[in-house]
A and B are shown apart, each in its own frame.
Chain A
Amino acid sequence: MIEFNDVEKIYPGNVKALQHIHLTIDKGEFVAVIGLSGAGKSTLIRCINRMHDITSGQLFVDDVEVSHLRGKEIRKFRQKIGMIFQSYNLVTRTTALKNVLVSFVPQLSFWRKMLGLFSKEHKIKALTALDQVGIVDKAYVRVDQLSGGQQQRVALARTLAQYPDILLADEPIASLDPVTSAQVMDDFQRINRDMNISVIMNIHHVEMALDYADRIIGVRDGEIVYDGKSEDVTQEVLDHIYKGNVEELRETYEGEQAHVQ
């Protein structure tokens, strides 16, 4: 369970990225966070695994107060939380398998780390993770020879190999075409349902968000302006989240349509 209690995040230079955040996310939920660019979605997600520090308030993950963790505890804590990025964030020069294997690095002995050696057991776990997202046949292919969708699957496999309780995804389909996007979203859904992993996803594609997520959180100017079931999201709600900025909304839609053609 994730619990935000009046969380605030101010970046250096007095940029207020998050304010008055109250939020509870239960285990196994599929939550989509939507909002305009610069609304604070990435910041919100990155506070959960302590990639960013909050400036005030409290944030609990499974009853652990995140801001109280120190050094080694933070790293231990992060191992339970997977993260997926818009640009996949893989090491492109090496194979898919090696990219998945890195999730075992925190458990390796010093010499294995130095030499980059992994045990047989780790390799089998990594290959299993690749199999779970359907690209085990690409295990020995260099990542820069894979398509965007395949790369995002490698990234998914990398986090699956961690056996995370929570999966944070920062615009995972923003660089993908609609068909591939749907496939990757299906992967997320399967992971969410079959493995009971909570998914918290930032997403610009509103229709996808409504299709796949159980719950929508609307963020505007660093504050939560909507929090409810996806079925309850109406055009008014969207206008409210996107600040009544219909112009912007239309542009996004048109952009997406152009993409389809």
Chain B
Amino acid sequence: MYNKIIPSKKWTLPNGKVVEEKRSKTPFIFFVLIVATWFSVQLTNFDMQTIISEARQFWIIFADMIPPTWSYLPEVWQPLMDTIKMSLLGSIIGSIVAIPVAYLASSNIVLFKPIVVLTKVFLSILRTLPTLVSALIATLIFGLGTFAGTVAIFLFTVSYVGKLLYEQIEDADMKPFEAMESIGMTRRQAFRYAIFPQVLPNFLSTSLFCFEGNVRYAAILGYVGAGGIGLLLDENIGWRDYTNVGMILFMLILTVYIIETISEHFRKKLI
């Protein structure tokens, strides 16, 4: 359409041949981006002045956190471990469950369209649900505590890994699949032996990446009572005990950093 409105450039070669060059869409896209930014600034009452004037407040609180109460560590330890356990367990089970779900969502593997469409819709609904909200719902069903948090992380992992996995499956090379069918395998077996090896490295990498993010999500789930370090953070901010907050944040940053470094190391090996 774009190329109909804006005529393409014509080059005439010495021998009289005319070659058409389609106009680039970049200037147009750039323009749309600027307009969109301007509108969002208007809509959200974004004000640069506030940011600058209130930044001072941030530094004051930050200064209050230093030095952190090192002696608070024993109390931080247990909730921190809970947070890691929650995200680890939720990520592992979620990634495993994502495999059959992604299978059902792949239009090149499952030929019965309604199943594919339903699974895809289910995954998008699951993905639009913020983890905090699913955690809140989980606490209403399973009660307060880490189990609710694990469920929330699990659901998010299924939706995230599931989506990326089915996209990978739909992009996979179907030729070996055809060969497996010609050998006498069922479609499920052909998937297992022809498609799964193709998507496995990427699946593991996605799962690890999701786990990294989940540690951060898990840290705030305590706010809705879904266990972990978030509860402690909430309490201490409430009491304005900023040196304790400092200690919690320090441990959290350290943990996230270590996990990300390890995960990144393995992800690089996978690709």
A contacts, CB < 8 Å to B: 49, 51, 74-79, 81-83, 85, 87-94, 102-103, 105-106, 113-114, 116, 155, 158-159, 162
Contacts and interface: CB of A to CB of B under 8 A. Distances in A.
B184 A102 contact: no
A87 B197 contact: no
A78 B184 contact: yes
Given A105-B189, A106-B189, A75 B184 contact: yes
Contact of B198 (A51, A81, A91): A91
B178 A89 contact: yes
Contacts of A162: 183
A79 B189 contact: no
Contact of B194 (A83, A91, A155): A91
A103 B182 CA distance: 10
Given A91-B198, A113-B189, A105 B183 contact: yes
Contact of A106 (B173, B179, B183, B192): B183
Contacts of A105: 180, 183, 185, 189, 193
Contacts of A74: 184
A91 B184 contact: no
Given A93-B198, A105-B193, A75 B185 contact: yes
Main secondary structure of the interface of B (DSSP, over half): helix
B181 A102 contact: no
B254 to A, nearest CB: 37
Interface string B161-196: 000000000000101101111111110010011100
B99 to A, nearest CB: 11
A105 B197 CA distance: 15
A77 B185 CA distance: 11
- Interface centre among B184, B192, B193, B197, by most A CB within 10 Å? B184
Interface residues on B, range: 10 to 19
A155 B176 CA distance: 10
A180 B247 CA distance: 68
Nearest to A72: B186
Contacts of A90: 176, 179
B190 to A, nearest CB: 9
A42 to B, nearest CB: 11
Given A85-B178, A91-B198, A113-B189, 18 more contacts: A49-B182, A78-B182, A83-B179, A85-B179, A87-B175, A88-B175, A89-B178, A91-B176, A91-B197, A93-B201, A94-B197, A102-B183, A105-B193, A106-B184, A106-B185, A158-B179, A159-B183, A162-B183
Contacts of B186: 75
B185 to A, nearest CB: 6
Nearest to B183: A103
A85 B175 CA distance: 9
A93 B194 CA distance: 10
Interface string B44-78: 00000000000000000000000000000000000
Contacts of B176: 89-91
Contacts of B175: 85, 87-89
A92 B201 CA distance: 13
| A-B CB proximity, top 3 nearest | A89-B179, A78-B184, A79-B184
A91 B196 CA distance: 10
Given A83-B179, A85-B175, A102-B180, A93 B197 contact: yes
